[in-house]
Amino acid sequence: MFWVTFQTVFQRYEIKYLFDNARAARIFGGMLPFMEEDAYGETTIRNLYFDTDDFRLIRTSIDKPVYKEKLRLRSYQQAVGGDTVFAELKKKYRSVVFKRRLPLTADAAEDWLCGDGEPPRDTQIAREIEAVRAFYGELSPKVFLSYDRKAFYSKTDPSLRVTFDRNVRFRTDDLTLGGDADGRLILPDGLVLMEVKCAGGMPLWLTHLLASERLYKTPFSKYGMAYQMINKGEMIYV
């Protein structure tokens, strides 16, 4: 089977900011001398989050432990049959994010993670995912979560990436990556979630830009917010 080369291992900091469209426009303008927009332009990202029946993974994450992890399937389009999706294991330890992802076909991913199939390839990442599944027991898709993203990359530092997410929405039915991207909005219309992803410290130009807008980092989990809305509890920023 032929596979396009994808980055499969990430280790970085992910710093989040929440602001309105007016600030987003000014941030865009300030970034342009230093960043380039992703060649794909705005992309609708689809995710299926896996959890236990009592949502053990996300409940643990909300408790803010030193170590936490999430398992999801992700696609950058409606994905069916032989379309490429990514099985992603995302771990966070003391503010550092470690992400492992395995490219698969939609059919192979569904057979493995949503059915009784074996891992389609024997790799270290597949073994790590299998270990998580064995530890938690029965994991299955619980939440579909989608958003419209614009991504930017540094012209000089390949480890620096900045993303802007709008229309963050979720649903608990139609748990597939092959359907539409509809769902209930998590954030009010007009709010933008920005994530700065970097291997180390931010460049000075970005620090100054954020300071000029009086922006402060905001702990935020899309899946955590969806879980709170599912249970109609108080909104918690994770």
- 45-77 pLDDT, tens digit each: 999 999 999 999 999 999 888 999 999 999 999
Chain-wide mean pLDDT for the chain? Answer: 91
Q: What is the mean pLDDT of residues 98-116?
A: 93
- Measured at the CA of 72, the angle between CA 62 and CA 164, to 5 degrees, comes to 75
Helical (H) or strand (E) element with 206: helix 204-212
Q: How many domains does the chain have?
A: 1
Angle between helices 21-31 and 204-212 (to 10 degrees): 150
Q: What percent of the chain has pLDDT over 70?
A: 95
pLDDT value, residue 96: 92
- 167-202 pLDDT, tens digit each: 999 999 999 999 999 999 998 889 999 999 999 889
Instruction: Please give the residue range of the domain that contains residue 210.
Output: 9-230
pLDDT value, residue 3: 44
| CATH number of 92's domain | 3.20.100.30
Are 165 and 149 in contact, with CB atoms under 8 Å apart? yes
pLDDT value, residue 6: 65
Q: What is the mean pLDDT of residues 129-142?
A: 94
pLDDT value, residue 236: 44
Residue 181 has a CB neighbour count (10 Å cut-off) of 18
Q: Taken in order 175, 181, 187, 188, is the CA torsion positive or negative?
A: negative
pLDDT band at 2; cut points 50, 70, 90: very low
